[in-house]
Amino acid sequence: MKRIGLILLLMLLTLCGCSRENAAQPAETGAWSDIVVGFSQLGAESSWRIANTESIRKAAEDYGYGLMMDNANQKQDRQIDAIRSFIAYRVDVIVFSPIVEGGWDHVLKEAAKAEIPVILVDRMIETEDEDLYTAYVGADFYLEGQKAGRYLKAKADAMGAEHLNIVEISGTIDSTPMRDRHAGFMDAISDDPRLTVLESVSGDFLRSKGAECMRQLLNTYDSKDIDVIYSHNDSMTLGIMDVLEERGIRPGEDIIMISVDGEKAAVDALREGRINCIVQCNPHLGEDVMKLVRDLKAGLSVPKISHPFEAVFSDLDDTKEVEGF
């Protein structure tokens, strides 16, 4: 019965532009191979996101699971539509990365009614009913923000700085990493009178918007008045650096650059002294997600929250061994 359903599902997916990655035989994962996972990815805005999508695709393949995958191109409505189609196809587990925190309760109640467990990956939702999702796998973004703030305090000590003006370029408004990286950073620096945030603007996690924000900031402020840029991801940081370098401003020397993620181009820039600190955000969440799928289908209880290991790479430490994704 499930096989006929799968054939229909493949036909429908082709029609609606979704794709079902073909499942290989499970390796040594102990997985059940007729399981189908519906995965709604929020977009492809950054190298982080592309690495994350590939990690989930690869893990599903390793576990021998069918994967219905839809990329929502940064649109919440499209994610809601994808989740509805996963419910209609009666997938075994729904996995999704919510672009923003609010607005999911309605569709998740539909999933609950259909008795399909939901795993949140990468980002969290805001809900009054925590039972609407079974588990969350992703970073502790508040801790990431705190790590960025702690680095800045240590850097200010190392420089003997009396005062530093900061601009923050944040990610997508109302997304978990935007909210929590901001809150963690502010909490970490709030007791340090040397540190002042001049302005916080959103670059939507995009390289092009990071560059646009920087151009606007340089219309408002003299570059000599900006001592620190705290950017919520590497894609925006690379765009910001393009603009600074076009204007003859040396990122990493004239302005302290703090970034988040750890993609290869940013790690190279860290080694070249053009970025001062990268707070790592680990995109390789696929294995942890598929383990949860396996355990759920085996009737085991699973942890509600799992965070991957994440480090901090900076000019205050040795960066020789650091590897980007």
DSSP states along 187-199: HHHTT-TTEEEEE
DSSP states along 91-147: -SEEEE--SSSSS-HHHHHHHHHTT--EEEESS----S-GGG-SEEES--HHHHHHH
Under rule CB under 6 A, residue 48 binds ligand AHR: yes
Among 85, 134, 233, 314, binds ligand AHR (CB under 6 A): 233
Which residue matches tokens 């970490």? 188
- Among the listed residues 111, 133, 108, 136, the one whose alpha carbon sits nearest the alpha carbon of residue 122: 136
Under rule CB under 6 A, residue 260 binds ligand AHR: yes
| β-pair partners for 32 | none
Write down the least CB distance from residue 202 to ligand AHR, Å: 12
Under rule CB under 6 A, residue 142 binds ligand AHR: no
Nearer to ligand AHR, 174 or 295 (CB): 174
DSSP states along 235-263: HHHHHHHHHHHHTT--BTTTBEEEEEE--
Write down the least CB distance from residue 201 to ligand AHR, Å: 16
Determine the interface stretch with ligand AHR among 43-51, 76-84, 160-168, 186-194 (rule: CB under 6 A): 43-51
Residue 228 contacts residue 167 (beta carbons within 8 Å): yes
Nearer to ligand AHR, 42 or 82 (CB): 42
Under rule CB under 6 A, residue 136 binds ligand AHR: no
Under rule CB under 6 A, residue 123 binds ligand AHR: yes
Nearer to ligand AHR, 66 or 203 (CB): 203
Among 66, 177, 203, 262, binds ligand AHR (CB under 6 A): 177
Nearer to ligand AHR, 64 or 210 (CB): 210
> Strands of 256-261's sheet, edge to edge?
195-202, 164-170, 228-231, 256-261, 277-280, 312-314
Nearer to ligand AHR, 21 or 310 (CB): 310
Under rule CB under 6 A, residue 45 binds ligand AHR: yes
Distance in angstroms (rounded) separating the CA atoms of residues 147 and 234: 16
Under rule CB under 6 A, residue 155 binds ligand AHR: no
- Among the listed residues 318, 243, 184, the one whose alpha carbon sits nearest the alpha carbon of residue 257: 243
The footprint of ligand AHR on residues 51-110 (CB under 6 A) is none
Nearer to ligand AHR, 177 or 286 (CB): 177
Nearer to ligand AHR, 39 or 48 (CB): 48
Under rule CB under 6 A, residue 182 binds ligand AHR: no
Q: Which residues of 266-294 are buried (b: 16+ CB within 10 A; e: fewer)?
A: bbebbeeebbbbbbbbbbebbbbbbbbbb
Residue 174 contacts residue 202 (beta carbons within 8 Å): no
Residues that bind ligand AHR (CB under 6 A): 45-46, 48-49, 122-123, 177, 205, 233, 235, 260-261, 281
